[in-house]
Amino acid sequence: MNWKIPAALLAAALAYPFIFRSNFAINFGVLVLFYALIGQAWNIAGGYAGQLSFGHAVFFGTGAYCSTILQLKLGWNPWPGLAAAAGAGALVGALIAALSFRFGLRGSYFALITLAFAEVFRILTNAVEFTGGGLGLLIPLKRGAANFQFAERIGFYYAILALAALSIGIAIWLKRSRFGAQLAAIRENEDAARALGIDTYREKVKVMALSGALCALGGSFYAQYYLYIDPTVVFGLDKSAEMLLVAMIGGTGTVYGPLIGSLLLTLVGEVTRANTEAQGLSLIIYGSLLILIIGFLPNGLVELFKLRWRRKARA
Amino acid sequence: MLEIRGLSKIFGGLRALDGASLDVAEGTIAGLIGPNGAGKTTLFAALTGFLVPDEGSVRLRDEDITGRPPHLICRRGMVRTFQITQPFAHLSVRENIMVGAYLHTPDRALASARAEAIAQQVGMAELLERTASGLTLAGRKRLELARALATQPRLLLLDEVMAGLNPPEIDELIPVIQGIRTSGVTVFLIEHVMQAVMSLAENVYVLSYGKIIAQGAPRQLAADPIVIEAYLGHGAAKRMAASAHA
């Protein structure tokens, strides 16, 4: 195992806020790491285990609402709320997986059922009282690290760095562990995996719980960063699509794909939004870029790095 | 080792298996032959939990495993290969075999070492780092065998591992399978390549229309009129005997 790459990345990420001190730069760093986290959450289920989901927002929203409601209704501190959010995400992940896989849903059927679950959660949070309905929930301002509301943005930066590093750590562990090998087997050929003694149902439920927990951490962080959530934002199709795109553009089933995808998509998103006058032009640029990448690098941007490594290895 | 009693599997109006009974003794190589569509692969699927039989029982090492799911049957020591090879296409040969080896150890280094040893045993040691999708048919057949062996089975079910191989490849694979038996694994194989059946199996069952119609040593079966008729049609045995006399 080559530890140089993760060590160098971590060092660069730790140093980043000292080199780029502007609010814009730190906010940019937060966004990159945030999308890397939820992209990785999607990647662990969709890329590693091949269980493509169109509705990962269901876990994101669960996490966001879980920690926020615990704060507002039960007076919890948001830090244990973050842990509770991960638990709730794992629970919802396991539940959706158990229901879907018990009835043998695979491939596009599974993708559609996850989409349906996300929509059901969105509509339910819209409809009931204790989630604040369509108005959403506002977390009252109480600055301080103890309240997971850092006075300086740099605090948020390091918080999301820790979460993103955790997700990448899990991705590295999966590449080297029995669980990861069994997930790859399930992705490649489920019947062969069963024939070789893998309890595919159980492993798929486990990976959805893991993915759901990571995604919920992202949701809880989002709530603390913006201090406001509503059903459309956290349970909406947009969030599901963002996670999926980040992983696909970077490279599914790879350790660094989501990070690379997040870096590019955040960069493109921020630059086009800041520099274009005409409304919607940023979306056109964004869309064109997606088409180009999917057309020429169907395995994601990671391919570019792999080619370079191979060339270097040959030289 | 394996006792099958009155096994039936019904698809709509078709009895793909119709009360098939047979035994595989420990330490032997047993064969299963029969015309196309006789139900051989269905039998394997029903033994290993991929299909749940409608009637009958399957006992593995004196334990009833009828209708148990595939992964539990594999853990009990019976593993199958697939006639149409099912490699983990984007993984390397080593990673493919390691999936099997991980059944008994969570340790990566151990699983990897076991994969190497098994690759050596089936003659694909040079191919360890190749991606499975790039293998030839012969390579993929060996990989099926290697992955199954990696689960450390007591009983190995081979579904036409010789099919589609050329004669030299078959000649190479026969001693590999004999070696597996010598190492203490009982083998039960479906095979169309008669050269392989003749040189490997001690006891052969003939399946036709879901029923076991004959059993015995391979040479004895080749002359059995019931078997000849199952393959070549009603009256064929008589005509063959007549032309032999003429």
Judge: B99–A177 Cβ closer than 8 Å, yes or no: no
- Nearest by Cα to B9 from B41, B43, B60: B43
d(CA B76, CA A45): 29
Closest CA to A100 of A159, A53, A134: A53
B82/A192 CB distance under 8 A: yes
Q: What residue ranges do the domains of chain A occupy?
A: 4-235
Average pLDDT over residues A33-44: 97
Q: Which two tokens stand for residue B145?
A: 């065998």
Q: Which helix (H) or strand (E) holds B215?
A: strand B211-216
Contact B106 A178 (CB under 8 A): yes
Is B88 in CB contact (< 8 Å) with chain A? Answer: yes
B89 CB neighbour count, 10 Å cutoff: 15
Q: How confident is the model at residue A312 (pLDDT cuts 50, 70, 90)?
A: low
B119, B123, B126, B128 alpha-carbon torsion, rounded to 10°:
-30
Q: What is the CATH number of domain B2-87+152-245?
A: 3.40.50.300
Query: What band does B217 get if pLDDT is binned at 50, 70 and 90?
Result: confident
pLDDT above 90 (res B36): no
Separation between Cα atoms, residue A123 and residue A104, nearest integer Å: 26
The pLDDT confidence band at residue A82, using thresholds 50, 70 and 90, is very high
Q: Chains A and B: how many Cβ contacts under 8 Å?
A: 79
Q: Give which of A176, A188, A191 to mutate to test B binding, by max B Cβ within 10 Å.
A: A188
Contact between residue A236 and residue A122 where contact means Cβ atoms under 8 Å apart: yes
> What pLDDT sits at residue A263?
94
Report the distance separating Cα A288 and Cα A275, nearest Å: 17
**One-letter identity of residue A292:** L
Q: Kindly list the residues from chain A whose CB atom is less than 8 angstroms away from the CB atom of residue B105.
A: 178
Residue B106 to residue A196, Cβ atoms within 8 A: no
Q: How confident is the model at residue A304 (pLDDT cuts 50, 70, 90)?
A: confident
Question: Does the pLDDT of residue B128 top 90, yes or no?
Answer: yes
What single DSSP character describes residue A139? P
Mutate to test the interface with B, among A196, A299, A306 (most CBs of B within 10 A): A196
Preferred mutation among B99, B143, B147, B159 to probe A, highest tally of A CBs within 10 A: B99
Tell me the pTM: 0.91
Long-range CB contacts (within 8 A, 24+) of A175-179:
A175/A255, A176/A1, A176/B108, A177/B106, A177/B108, A178/B102, A178/B105, A178/B106, A178/B108, A178/B111, A179/A203, A179/A206, A179/A207
Tell whether B111 lies on the interface with A, counting CB pairs under 8 A. yes
How far is Cα B211 from Cα B224, in angstroms, rounded to an integer?
Answer: 16
What's the confidence (pLDDT) of residue A1? 61
ipTM (interface pTM): 0.89
Greatest extent of chain B over all pairs of C-alpha atoms, in Å: 68
* pLDDT in the model for residue A276: 67
Distance from CA of B112 to the nearest CA of A (A): 11
Mean pLDDT of B197-214: 88
The predicted structure's pLDDT at residue B224:
82
Contact B7, B165 (CB under 8 A): no
How much of chain A exceeds pLDDT 90, in percent?
Answer: 72
Q: Is B100 on the interface with A (CB under 8 A)?
A: yes
Which has more confidence, B195 or A309?
A: B195
**In this structure, what token pair is assigned to residue A7?**
């060590």
Task: Judge: A191–B89 Cβ closer than 8 Å, yes or no.
Answer: no
Q: Which residues 158-187 of A are in CB contact (within 8 Å) with B?
A: 176-178, 181-182, 184-185
Instruction: Compute the average pLDDT of residues B31-45.
Output: 89
Mean pLDDT of chain A: 91
Do the Cβ atoms of B133 and B87 come closer than 8 Å? Answer: yes
In chain A, the residue whose alpha carbon lies closest to the alpha carbon of B47 is A195
pLDDT at position A268 is 86
Burial of A315 (0-12, 13-18, 19+ CB in 10 A): exposed
B52 and A CB contact within 8 Å? no
3-class SS of residue B187: strand
Q: Which residue of B has its CA nearest to A191?
A: B86
| Distance in angstroms (rounded) separating the CA atoms of residues A84 and A220 | 9
In the predicted model, what is the mean pLDDT of residues A142-164?
Answer: 91
Q: What are phi and psi of B203, to 5 degrees?
A: -135, 130
Which pLDDT band holds residue A313 (cuts at 50, 70, 90)? low
Rounded to an integer, the average pLDDT of A185-201 is: 95
The answer to whether residue A315 scores a pLDDT higher than 70 is no
Give the CA count within 13 Å in the CB-facing half-sphere of A18. 5
The model's pLDDT over A235-294, given as tens digits with 9 standing for 90+, comes to 999 999 999 999 999 999 999 999 999 999 999 888 877 776 666 777 788 788 888 888
B151 touches chain A (CB under 8 A): yes
| Lowest mean pLDDT across A99-108, A280-289, B1-10, B185-194 | A280-289
